[in-house]
Structure 1
């Protein structure tokens, strides 16, 4: 959809800006006026990870006047395979600080605002205030719905992208002119049914492609050039190197968002209640599992602790006394014969999604007494063994 420029031009470009953005100024569709609009633009990027990294780098290089970065995480070595805005020297530091330092080195003419916090229903409107456009590079459904709802309330466009393994999607949402994220995905998936990048993995170069595409849409919206992705969703399959596109329109009768609120059993950042499966998937907490393991060691109880992660993950971090049985071996049936359906079983993975899938599979094969570790091994490390390094 062709839209008017999102912001008015700034007053002037300095000599340093004229030299820096010379290749933009010679593009007729951008020119001096477009560059002045970029200078006057205020963009917020939610997430300084795989998608946020290339988007922030290219938007900073393009001369966006103010870039806000919202992220509460710190840089970890497992991020560096795809989060190219960070480096070894930034390990353990907040991602907002690392990204801000890289942007300052790339283009000191850009103003960076750090929001070192997780976006929640209570804080989203305050964080978004004053921005012309929001880019959503997050990796969980709760925050995606929250960003979309907050943007609809603020009346600003929202550039969205998502990645998983070899696949990526991106689009533009703007409730004032077209569809929102809720028109694409009206109902959040049940917890554990869709893995995130930590669970399923992602090709490291894929977010470079999708995050850059998101930055292109942001520049087009600010300057008013070209046809935006509003009303269209693009999907990319890296294995076949093919793009697909579908049309998207507002859902007839969908009520407008009037407030942000947190419902029962939802993600802390989610503005919409998410289907809950807690009753169907009993859990144990990390401290409870520690007590069970101690009791098993004393011969006071008996149960089997199964680690359903991949072998390389078990090398990086493990819970003492767990037996490694990857989820794929359970799903194929290869490992089922070696399990006693009458023995109590506790399952764990990294964060809980795979272990919940394994729990349902074991129940379907006659295992009555089965539970899984809430929060996975990351919860174990945080609550029981903080000396162990997470991965």
Structure 2
């Protein structure tokens, strides 16, 4: 793609004084890993690909199921039965062929987390269970990688940036993971489709702020409640 076409494509970002050409270059050179291509990962992948993140990696081992489609917007009816990572790759290619998509069809485990995470500048946690969240968090702390965190359930969501330039991490607010037994989850209590869109968009925005050197909140957890339509920030 010619330089003038690149400028036109990203002009609405470049026109923002705080981003400009230099910020767009940073976006196009960034290496971002999105863990999970589900409810949160879908809007993150969509907006980072649209923004022109040069190296966009996605790690997921699940297949698309019909019940995913109320919220996992990068997938469609033809994706049912396809691995989410492969469906995400097709979505990104259709949206922005300039983005280098790196797919990892695997489950994040202690045996592979460090090798996987070490290759990227920013880690975005779109996982759906506490064991994986803490594994990602602890690996990011060990490797000195900033982590954008999000979680959703029903009408409620949480967003935070952890381990940015040595800032506190997930264990700073939740020292130990709760017992998984009898914990509520989206499979049992559900989630309204736009909620992960809201939270995931916030996560994508925070990732772009990190890439371009714009301010991000640290030592703060943002709580989103779309039933009462309230947004609160908790310091930790």
RMSD (CA atoms): 1.1
TM-score (norm 2): 0.97
The reply to whether residue 232 of structure 1 matches residue 186 of structure 2 is: no
The answer as to whether partners of 1:152 and 1:175 remain within 8 angstroms in 2 is no
TM-score (norm 1): 0.59
- Encode CA deviations 1:155-188: one digit per residue, 9 max, x unaligned: 1100000000000000000164211111121111
Match of 1:298 in 2: none
Shift of 1:95: 0.3
Match of 1:74 in 2: 63
- Encode CA deviations 1:178-234: one digit per residue, 9 max, x unaligned: 111111211111232421111111111100000000001000001011x31221110
The answer as to whether partners of 2:147 and 2:164 remain within 8 angstroms in 1 is no
Shift of 1:128: 1.1
Matches within 5 A, 1:37-52: 37-52=26-41
Q: Where does structure 1 differ by over 3 angstroms across 4 or more consecutive aligned residues?
A: none
Shift of 1:245: 0.5
Q: 201, 209, 230: which is aligned to 1:242?
A: 230
The more displaced of 45-54 and 176-185 is: 176-185
CA distance in 1, matches of 2:174, 2:223: 15
SS at match of 2:70: coil
Q: 99, 103, 112: which is aligned to 1:114?
A: 103
CA distance in 1, matches of 2:163, 2:98: 29
Match of 2:140 in 1: 151
CA distance in 2, matches of 1:52, 1:78: 16
Match of 1:53 in 2: 42
Match of 1:217 in 2: 206
The answer as to whether partners of 1:152 and 1:176 remain within 8 angstroms in 2 is no
CA distance in 1, matches of 2:178, 2:25: 42
Match of 2:5 in 1: 16
The answer as to whether partners of 2:164 and 2:218 remain within 8 angstroms in 1 is no
Point out where structure 2 has 5 or more consecutive residues left out of the alignment.
none
The more displaced of 86-95 and 184-193 is: 184-193
CA distance in 1, matches of 2:183, 2:40: 19
The answer as to whether partners of 1:133 and 1:218 remain within 8 angstroms in 2 is yes
The reply to whether residue 92 of structure 1 matches residue 76 of structure 2 is: no
CA distance in 2, matches of 1:188, 1:175: 21
User: How many residue pairs were aligned?
Assistant: 235
- Encode CA deviations 1:248-304: one digit per residue, 9 max, x unaligned: 2xxxxxxxxxxxxxxxxxxxxxxxxxxxxxxxxxxxxxxxxxxxxxxxxxxxxxxxx
The answer as to whether partners of 2:64 and 2:84 remain within 8 angstroms in 1 is yes
Q: Which has the larger radius of gyration?
A: 1
SS at match of 2:42: helix
SS at match of 2:223: strand
SS at match of 2:232: strand
Match of 2:54 in 1: 65
**Structure 1 residues 35, 45: CA separation in 2 closer, same or farther (over 3 Å shift)?**
same
Point out where structure 1 has 5 or more consecutive residues left out of the alignment.
1-12, 249-391
SS at match of 1:118: coil
The reply to whether residue 197 of structure 1 matches residue 186 of structure 2 is: yes
CA distance in 2, matches of 1:146, 1:127: 12
CA distance in 2, matches of 1:172, 1:234: 10
CA distance in 1, matches of 2:10, 2:179: 47
The reply to whether residue 134 of structure 1 matches residue 142 of structure 2 is: no
The reply to whether residue 28 of structure 1 matches residue 17 of structure 2 is: yes
